[in-house]
Amino acid sequence: MLLGRNVSFDEPLARYTSLRVGGPADAVAAPQSREQLVELCKLCRDRALPLLVLGNGFNTLVRDGGVRGVVLRLHALRGLRRDDAGLVEAEAGVTHSTLTRFCAAEGLAGLEFAVGIPGTVGGWLRMNAGVPGREMKDVVQRVAWLDASACAFVEADASELGWSYRHVDLPEDAVIVAGTFRTHPDDPDAIRARMQQGMEKRRATQPVDQPSCGSVFVNPPGDHAGRLIEAAGLKGRRQGAARISELHANFIITEGEARAADVLALIETAVEAVRDRFGVALETEVRIVGEDE
């Protein structure tokens, strides 16, 4: 058997998403190497099985009906190394905390801005994650991915790819397997101090200790989605076991027996309220996948 115990069937995706909601996947597969990833890709291609990549489940909302086909998790791909020039290569399954702590321990600066941005390297790159004034595109040197159609690996310099707000121009079926980041030397204690400052600011302004998907909406040009939602009077608005955060209105948090339908209803409420009051069309940043129940 290709993956043995590393594949499960009819698997609830709520346990794999930061919102803790979502119906079952037909199959959840976790290849333990790039070689297994290629073999899985070939199997899905030859049998016409849909393949959905799910990293650590941040920035993703799975509908209550779940996902047909195979959900791919890359958390076992977590190789991490540096070279003498300060380039750091991290595989897609490396978590945000592992990468930033590694850089601090090695005295490599440049990624402190990403402290607290949840998820894994694969998700960071796929959505060009960042904070105001700084994004992945500013620090990434190369990106490697698997072409799911050809089942072959591809690598390109970041300068060859198109980057925009929360987006990188890659084929829709590209499975990111690694990224290489530019850093520069600095004192480890100074790096850790900046990291701590960043985390303290994030904790003061965002509900980082509660289940959420991060920012729900893209900030419209010249404004902030959270400000608009708050001005529309929606902070604390509840639907079932989900609610718009009182700390930051661009976050929806869940508790107890929340359902994806609860989150989707709050998204629609925010879109309608902001459109009706301010004439602004909010666009979702969170990736919404799967089928309705």
Is 285 marked active-site?
yes
Q: Which two tokens stand for residue 149?
A: 């159609």
Q: Which two tokens stand for residue 193?
A: 């101090």
Report d(CA 79, CA 70) in Å as an integer.
Answer: 24
3-state secondary structure 173-232: CEEEEEEEEECEECCHHHHHHHHHHHHHHHHHHCCCCCCECCCCECCCCCCCHHHHHHHC
Active site residue: 20, 166, 243, 259, which one?
166
Rg (CA), the chain: 19
Is 172 marked active-site?
no
Report d(CA 24, CA 33) in Å as an integer.
Answer: 25
Decide: 9 and 66 in contact? Cβ < 8 Å. Answer: no
Active site residue: 20, 89, 126, 215, which one?
215
Q: Which two tokens stand for residue 199?
A: 């985390």
Active site residue: 89, 91, 112, 285, which one?
285
Report d(CA 202, CA 220) in Å as an integer.
Answer: 21
Instruction: Provide the 8-state DSSP code for 256.
Output: T
Is 215 marked active-site?
yes
Catalytic residues, which ones? 166, 215, 285
